[in-house]
Chain A
Amino acid sequence: AQKVTQAQTEISVVEKEDVTLDCVYETRDTTYYLFWYKQPPSGELVFLIRRNSFDEQNEISGRYSWNFQKSTSSFNFTITASQVVDSAVYFCALSDYTGANSKLTFGKGITLSVRP
């Protein structure tokens, strides 16, 4: 069975601070996908990134970066120089790779509050 754990439930930072959101996963699959989604206060779910399990290179997109470590089953998300607009709930998710079963298993989410 697949499982995603986001141990942090709420994080509060002051604008311009860096913040890291942790994600730990469990799966018996040898190949899989990992995802991050953002849910701003307006409620919609916004896709941020998909990472496949055989590509352990870290990824950077503007102020966002993701650190994938297969050895520790972690896929952490760092926001550099946080802004008020980053305030949202962030979900980490896992799916198999083959596509035969593309269901997503979500973590419970981390509520990030960025104060001005």
Chain B
Amino acid sequence: DADVTQTPRNRITKTGKRIMLECSQTKGHDRMYWYRQDPGLGLRLIYYSFDVKDINKGEISDGYSVSRQAQAKFSLSLESAIPNQTALYFCATSGEGSDKNIQYFGAGTRLSVL
């Protein structure tokens, strides 16, 4: 099984709908991240969390919210989806020790907002 699991893998929704993307991890990492990828723009950070009680906005947080339900779970919500939120979304985790600052990514969720 994957260490970082994202669900769903693909989602099509309509403008104005609320949608939640979920991420769970078995790596035991405290730090979790949500990114979006758009063609030609690379990955941009939406939100990040260094532990259950610590949640921070990234560079493009407008229109998104997150919930860190447990160390292993970090969900991203689009309260009212709009077409320019169509993108590939990635969850990532990072830990300490020998893997310090290395981020491990889920397989991604491809979201289309019509």
Q: Do A and B bind each other?
A: yes
The answer for the CA separation of A64 and B18 in the assembled complex, in Å, is 44
How many A-B residue pairs lie within 8 Å, measured between CB atoms?
A: 54
Contact A45–B90 (Cβ < 8 Å)? yes
Query: Would you list which residues of chain B between 80 and 114 have a CB under 8 Å from chain A?
Result: 88, 90, 92, 94, 96, 100-108, 110
**Do A102 and B31 form a contact, CB below 8 Å, given A35-B102, A43-B108, A50-B101?**
yes
- Range, interface on chain B: 20 to 34
Interface centre among A45, A107, A109 (most CB of B within 10 A): A45
A20-36 vs B, CB cutoff 8 Å, 1 = contact: the mask equals 00000000000001010
Residues of B within 8 A of A (CB): 31, 33, 40-45, 48, 58, 88, 90, 92, 94, 96, 100-108, 110
Chain A: residues with CB nearer than 8 A to chain B? 9, 33, 35, 37, 43-45, 47, 50, 91, 95-97, 99, 102-104, 106-109
List 7 contacting pairs A-B, 8 Å CB cutoff, sorted by A.
A43-B107, A99-B96, A102-B31, A107-B42, A108-B41, A108-B42, A109-B42
